[in-house]
Chains A and B, each alone.
Chain A
Amino acid sequence: MNKVKLEGIRDGYNKRFDCIDKRIIICAGTGCVANGAMGIYDEFIRQLDKAGINVIVELDKEEEGTLVSKSGCQGFCQMGPLVTIIPGKTMYTKVRVSDVSEIIETSILKDGTVERLIYRNIETGEGCPSVDDIPFYKKQSRTVLKNCGLMDPSDIDEYIARGGYFAAEKAVASMSSEEICKVVKESGLRGRGGGGFPTGTKWELAMKENSADKYIICNGDEGDPGAFMDRSIMEGNPHSVIEGMLIAARAVGANAGYVYVRMEYPLAVARMKAAVRKAEEYGIIGEGAFEDRIDFKITVMEGAGAFVCGEETALIASIEGKRGMPSPKPPYPSTYGLFGKPTVINNVETLATIPIVLGNGAGEFMNTGTERSRGTKTFALTGHVRNTGLIEVPFGTTLREIIVDIAGGVVDNDGNPCGVDFKAVQIGGPSGGCLTKEHLDLPLDYESLKSVGAMVGSGGLVVMNQQTCMVGIARFFMKFTQNESCGKCIVCREGTKQMLALLDDITEGRADETTIPLLSELAGVVKVGSLCGLGKSAPNPVLSSLEFFKDEYIEHVENKRCPTGSCKALARYMIIEEKCKGCGLCARKCPVDAITGEKGMAYRIDADKCIKCGACIEACRLSAVAMG
């Protein structure tokens, strides 16, 4: 492979692309597939064929017809299945198999739009036919995700036609290791996995080591619950990751690389493996790639279900076939990593950003974001907002812009809009803290988040409405972290276990005046004393919620009451007077005789005797018993 060949492939693809009339892109990310996207894909092919149109599935020759492609996650998951028509970038939402013939009729055979399938602006009611009109997308800055959702991830030619692998060619053929590291350092790119460590500096440290063998590892063990950015990149644009790794290999002097993907992402695993094979076929990676300019072999490895393996030394242990337990640092992986050799571990999004930083997008990248947090960041926006999904915004974007402009505002448990009336936004997953309404205008970047006790993390953003119990959320995250703790160091292993037990005491009514101070003290020790990032950040949700929602905690402890009614063990069971006909069924079912009353009159539950078993709720045929 060389530059001339790349150009040839690009030109060849473009020529083929010019021949086709229309292109139908069906989102085939995990979410849309779960919603039936594959059935829609098959239906399109069937119906187009019936309509006498030449259906092209693989663009390998110049011919007229309609190209039907499956893409990676387009991000607008709430609205899926998604179908986009090129030209025009018309996006159809919530498409069903039965809509396919109409879409073909209207948008393929003719140039019209199927109005009822277009996204409608909730405020104005206006239709947004093109992707670019949709507020969800309009306010984003899709850079890394630019091509996700608009290209066929299995077509390497398309990737090249969109500029792919040209940056790698430049790096391999005409740049020195020092030059590459310098460019990356100057770009200000920081690790997108949560650490925020300057990527260029990391590469430089490994570059300086003297060793015949060095490794590049792509950390695709995105375990944060509520985060799927890396998955989307691996599914939607796997070659961008490979290109990033190749450039890293050149910069550092590595001859082998691993892509470690969670096994819970089978589609991502398959797409990465296929992309690696294709890149090898084209002489872009492998032995003697780019006409013998570099040897770089990539192996794709599946994880086996351990969140802690996202920590770099644990990841290394896993690749070495061991238990994924972290090791103390120093020595750092850049000196002594995989199999004892200098190793660079980068997050998927970081690697996917590298071709941009080294390519034509460098200037734009440098000019986006804030002084110390350059560029854009992907976020998985979930929770109680109207539009959940995958977004990408420049660093420095405020919470308000995300919640209002992009997500369309907060909703309550029944789906009713609540403007910006949220209780908290959890940012950074189980390692992160929460932001409240007082942070609505806080610019999101590494420094400002750190200053309020939160962190960017990998990019999970969960919006929680007023009906959410913050103590319950803290407990939920602690349960997760405790379950995933590797168990090596005493502090995290025992500390998270006892913290979880204390939180259980709080949410189940067993706490007393010593509980919260003990929880605080323990949280402080776990934060400082743990061996790895998992332990060190495990107390964050607790510390953060204690800071902003102390009252809720106190209510749970002193009054044994959960203000939002979410903690089942603290719920008060009450009989709704208006609904109760006095049949006495609940009283008969009550195992502790807590319900009393006279026939024909509303019964009452004695809260002191009630053991909250729920038998009365089940028994009542009039739904007159409620939990609050």
Chain B
Amino acid sequence: MKYATVKKFENVCEIINKHGRDSANLIGILHDIQEEYRYLPKEIMTFTATMLGIAPARVYGVATFYSHFALEPKGKYVIKVCDGTACHVKKSTDLINAIEKRLGLSNENKTTSDMMFTLEAVSCLGACGLAPAMVVNDEVHGLLTPETAVEIIEAIIEREKTS
């Protein structure tokens, strides 16, 4: 645990170097940093700003503009329910409500208190033929109903209990 932080920090320096310490690559750099930390910590953003020679306010502006960047830590499993047109028309809202109910989440509170799950509605994953669809971390699930969606969540909870 102790040295994990050190490794992460070293990786940040690596990341910035890998991108040529060029501020035009800021988005790619933030992507990689978020991979490392699972979100974008403030001090790391300030560190990045100074290394790139740009104002921290600019980094903050970029980080808050794009939906993908998280300023708060996300859960271990990020559930993205697609609310694109095709999925919406096939009642994706019911999926969202069902999962919210199961995990005790809401529009304001998107992450479970045990940091296991984060629920987000996203616009269009491009799997429209399989509407309604959702992605859990990198796994795509399609042709869902509120029941099957919750089943997938239950399966993860079970798996986490035993491991």
> Which residues on the B side are within 8 Å of A473 (C-beta)?
89
A264/B125 contact (C-beta < 8 A), A304-B69, A306-B67 known: yes
A322/B123 contact (C-beta < 8 A), A382-B86, A382-B129 known: no
Most A CB within 10 A of own CB, among B69, B124, B129, B141? B129
| Interchain CB contact (< 8 A) of A388 among B30, B68, B128 | B128
> Which residues on the A side are within 8 Å of B131 (C-beta)?
382, 388
Q: Which of these binds chain A: B3-11, B19-27, B105-113?
A: B19-27
Query: What is the size category of the interface that chain B forms with chain A?
Result: 35 or more
Looking at the assembled complex, report how far the CB atom of B118 sits from the nearest CB atom of chain A, in whole angstroms: 14
19 pairs across A/B with beta carbons < 8 Å? A31-B130, A31-B140, A77-B127, A225-B84, A225-B123, A226-B84, A226-B86, A228-B124, A231-B126, A303-B66, A304-B67, A321-B24, A323-B61, A323-B65, A382-B89, A383-B86, A462-B86, A462-B89, A484-B123
| Interchain CB contact (< 8 A) of A34 among B31, B65, B84, B133 | B133
Encoded as 1 (CB less than 8 Å from any B CB) or 0, chain A from 206 to 229 comes to 000000000000000011111110
Give complex CA distance A429, B62 in Å: 26
A464:B89 contact, CB within 8 angstroms: yes
10 further A-B pairs in the complex, CB-CB below 8 A; given A77-B129, A265-B126, A305-B66: A226-B85, A227-B124, A262-B126, A305-B68, A321-B22, A321-B24, A324-B66, A384-B89, A473-B89, A480-B123
A321/B26 contact (C-beta < 8 A), A30-B127, A33-B140, A265-B126 known: yes
Say yes or no: is A318 at the interface (Cβ < 8 Å to chain B). yes
B86:A35 contact, CB within 8 angstroms: no
Encoded as 1 (CB less than 8 Å from any B CB) or 0, chain A from 359 to 394 comes to 000000000000000000000101110001110000
Say yes or no: is B41 at the interface (Cβ < 8 Å to chain A). no
Give complex CA distance A429, B84 in Å: 10
> Which residues on the B side are within 8 Å of A253 (C-beta)?
none
Say yes or no: is A301 at the interface (Cβ < 8 Å to chain B). yes
A228:B126 contact, CB within 8 angstroms: yes
Count of A residues near B, CB < 8 Å?
Answer: 58
Encoded as 1 (CB less than 8 Å from any B CB) or 0, chain A from 19 to 46 comes to 0000000000011011100000000000
> Which residues on the A side are within 8 Å of B69 (C-beta)?
304-305
B122:A264 contact, CB within 8 angstroms: yes
Looking at the assembled complex, report how far the CB atom of B94 sits from the nearest CB atom of chain A, in whole angstroms: 11
Say yes or no: is B138 at the interface (Cβ < 8 Å to chain A). yes
Encoded as 1 (CB less than 8 Å from any B CB) or 0, chain A from 315 to 335 comes to 000111111100000000000
A383/B129 contact (C-beta < 8 A), A264-B122, A302-B28 known: no
| Interchain CB contact (< 8 A) of B127 among A31, A383, A477, A480 | A31
